[in-house]
Every structure is written in C-alpha cells, then in structure tokens.
Amino acid sequence: MTLPKISIPKAFSHIFCLSLLVQPAAADDTQAELPLIFREDFENGFHRWKLSDPQGWIHRKIDTNHVFGIKSRTNAYKPQVRSPHHIALIKGIKVSDFVLTFRVRSTKDTGNHRDCCVFFNHQDATHFYYVHLGARPDPHSGQIMIVDGAPRKALTKNKKSVPWDDQWHQVKVTRDGKTGLIQIYFDDMQAPLMATVDKTFDQGQIGLGSFDDMNDFDDIELRGR
C-alpha cells in the first residue's frame, strides 16, 4: 500500500526543525563527551570567583558543610543596562560548549520573582546570556535572557513555574556552540524546563547569582571546551 504524501507548510517547517533541535538527548550526548574542567564545593573558600560586589556575598558553614551565598537583596553594583545585580563569575575559564550542574537553595521567599540566575557565554558587563529561574514566568521572569548592549530581553516564552521552596534543588545548564542550543533543567535532569537556540555569543565565562534575591550555592561542576 502506498502511503499518501504529507506536505508540511513552509510556515511550520522552521518550527518542526527547531523542535528536533531541543530534544533532551542532545544534552546527554554533550555531557558524555565534554571533559571536567572545574569543580567547586567551597570547602576552601571562594577565591576562584570574581564578584560584581563582594560585600553582597557570604561564605559560611552550615552543619559540617560550607556554602557560598548572597546575603542581601541589594548591593553596590549598578549594571550599565537593566540586568542582574548579583554576579559571581568563575575566574580564568571561558567555554563555548558546556554542561554546568550545581545545587542551589533560595533563602528568602520574595514571591513571584523569587529566583536564581545562571550566567554563560559572558563577554563583558553588557554582553552575555543568563537564565532567570523565577518562580512564576512572565516576560521578565522564568526565561532564558540575552543582554546585548541593551536591557535584558527574553529569548523564550516559557510558561512553566519554578517550584521554589526552602530546600536544596539541582540545576543543569547545557550549551552547544555549534547549533546554538541552550537547555535548562531544574530537579528533573531528563526533561528541560526551557530551551532555545541562539548563536549571538560564542566563548565566554560562566557564573552564578541572582537578579535581586538571596541564594546559597554548592557542589558545582563544569564540563566544557
């Protein structure tokens, strides 16, 4: 029996191709290939991190474990364009392809925009990507963002909430420089919370922080090249 030929309208072909790009398997393949280049548990301090404002961060011991966190919602750093205030970048490492994993705990409930941020392909203070893991998504919260010499702009239209509470959570961010694929995972390491494709920035620094909220970070691993 001959099956009828199915014609995909040109208007939908781009969407179909993009959906193939954002399959979770791509992140798993990348992770298996990339070497481990950075690991941090903060047991020996935080000297490997460059901070937008050191006064806004605290290194402390909880029970038998050290963590590094943001201690106040405001700090002295004033970004040149509308973008996050709390930024801690890994010193001396720039990557194009990477898989970043870490644990994070929100330490203050600020409502719908309760968040943490992950910075990547960071070129300078006004050129970088970041993911805003905001509790309730809207055009300025819970999205993958770009800062490109202008106030931050969403690259996604995510509608999935981030289930913040007072417990520790696991985050993974993956980037494929060749395809431009970016994927973000929160607790569920198999299905991305959000994904997009963008090739504006190539090799750059990796960092953690928040727009204007408070978090503790620990157990960071970066695989990349």
The ranges assigned to domains in the chain are 11-224
| Burial state string for 182-214 with b = 16 or more CB within 10 A and e = fewer than 16 | bbbbbeeeeebbbbbebeebeebbbbbbbbbbb
Q: Which CATH number fits domain 11-224: 2.102.10.10, 1.10.3720.10, 2.60.120.560, 3.40.50.300?
A: 2.60.120.560
pLDDT tens digits for range 144-174: 999 999 999 999 999 999 999 999 999 999 9
pLDDT tens digits for range 37-63: 999 999 999 999 999 999 999 999 999
pTM of structure? 0.86
Residue for token digits 């969403």?
154
CA neighbor of 174 nearest in space, from 99, 106, 107: 99
Residue 57: strand pairing partners: 70
Residue 88: strand pairing partners: 51, 208
The letter for the amino acid at 85 is H
CA-to-CA distance for 149 and 126, rounded, in angstroms?
5
Q: Please, which pLDDT band fits residue 31 given cuts at 50, 70 and 90? A: low
Judge contact between 114 and 212, C-beta under 8 A: no
